[in-house]
Amino acid sequence: MPNKISSIKHSDQTREHIPSKEEAGYEEASPKVAEAQETLKLPKNPVVHRGQDPELFWMNKYGPDDTDDQLTIDIRSLYRHEHIAPEQLMEGLYSVVRDQGQDEQMDLFSTNELFGNALEKDELEKVSEYHTHRDGWTNRLIQGDSHLVMASLLEREGMAGQVQMIYIDPPYGIKYNSNWQMKLNDRTVKDGSDEHLSGEPEMIKAFRDTWELGIHSYLSYLRDRLLVARELLTESGSCFVQIGIDNLHLIRNLCDEVFGSENFMSIITYKTSVGLGAKHLDSVSNYLVWYGKNIETVKYRQLYKGLTLGGEGATRYRYVENTEGIRSITQEEINNPSLLPKGSKVFFKQGLTSRTGTETTAFEVNFLGKKYKPTAGGW
């Protein structure tokens, strides 16, 4: 019997009721939309005070005349194009295979058997005041400019301060091969190659206009998206930016300005290649730059790695404690831990004091009625 197909539900969560693409424009009748501002304005440098703190400066950062310190974004509406429940789709396919031959004239879509009913209410009875009423929560895949999409979620759907994690995978730079892929089945794009150049003049113009100022356009592009992302994050939220070695240093500076250097969490390094063919020392890694909205309240679960006795990170564990007392562990027991008596605890010894210390680490400790203080340095 095949396993039951299911999906994770968020029955206690809701999101705003939005129109379908056929109903585009209907949302303007909603009081929330009619009374809302048509643009979103955010300070371009919310953390760093100009002239006081270090900041990265690039061409047109504050506009052509260096006086535009507000980011202005047009607010657009998002429309529902289709609703797919994967578990219903797969269950429907299984039923087709199971019932094949019983009814060759079966109309799979007459009762929406493959895709299910996406709405909890009848189409004729649904509410017309979009962005005012709530629907059950469903995950979404949104196609569009991330800049405008996030602004719509922020203003139209009231998601300010509600997002736990944002992962941004921008172009690693402004080279042709990092921003252009003509075919879905061919990810190989060579910079400067006529074979990989689009025959569509509009696409070439769009590429040229987007990165007109080179790295300066790139920094403005990413800064604008980080600013909106910051507004979406909850106080315990995190933002991850995936980037390569070429612009890692610039992204660090940019994130410092948007989130504040005090909210930097870490840089996660992961290997992507073996580094063959470089003229000099090759870079074999990409990076995840991690910032929290507020480092004091950021949600974090500590990672642990299991140790193997005698293996990497566990060579210092040379003692055993059990009912018979404390003794050194034998090499045979390291090679075969099953030889250890039942209930044994393996541990290593470490000094309680440090040769160097400060006033905050050189304090007295009261243990069993006796006071102890480090003879030199601190704890």
Q: Would you state the pLDDT for residue 111? A: 39
Answer for the pair 44, 80: CB distance below 8 angstroms, yes or no.
no
Within 10 Å of residue 16's Cβ, how many Cβ atoms? 19
Measured torsion, CA atoms of residues 102, 105, 106, 112, in degrees rounded to the nearest 10: 170
d(CA 294, CA 280): 40
Q: Would you state the pLDDT for residue 347? A: 93
Read off the pLDDT of residues 216-244 as tens digits, 9 standing for 90 and up.
Answer: 999 999 999 999 999 999 999 999 999 99
d(CA 310, CA 329): 11
Q: Would you state the pLDDT for residue 171? A: 85
Low-confidence residues of the chain: pLDDT under 70: 1-7, 50-52, 88, 96-133, 174-210, 276, 355-360, 377, 379
Q: Would you state the pLDDT for residue 301? A: 92
d(CA 152, CA 257): 23
Phi, psi torsion values for 271, nearest 5 degrees: -80, 135
